[in-house]
Amino acid sequence: MGERQKIISLVVKKLQKDKSVAEIADDLEEKEEVIAPIYEAALSMKPDYDVEKIYELLEKNKKLA
């Protein structure tokens, strides 16, 4: 599992505990700007959090940006 997938997995675990973007960023010692897009992508797939699908969605959105 790559670094980005690992972060996505950690964000999903925190999201399942109803933590906010700010709380997750603080817990993972990452900037909110890094966590926010992952959080939003994961939230859009609730309740079926699939790390691979979230990763693919983020990659697709990055190419469109």
Q: Is the pLDDT of residue 1 over 70?
A: no
User: pLDDT-derived band of residue 62, with 50, 70 and 90 as boundaries?
Assistant: confident
Which residues 6+ apart lie within 8 Å of 53 measured at CB?
45
pLDDT for 30-55, tens place per residue?
999 999 999 999 999 988 899 999 99
Crossing angle between the packed helical segments 21-28 and 32-43, to the nearest 10 degrees: 120
Whole-angstrom Cα distance, residue 5 to residue 50?
10
Residue 38 CB coordination number (10 Å): 25
Rounded to the nearest angstrom, the gap between the alpha carbon of residue 4 and the centroid of all alpha carbons in its chain is 9
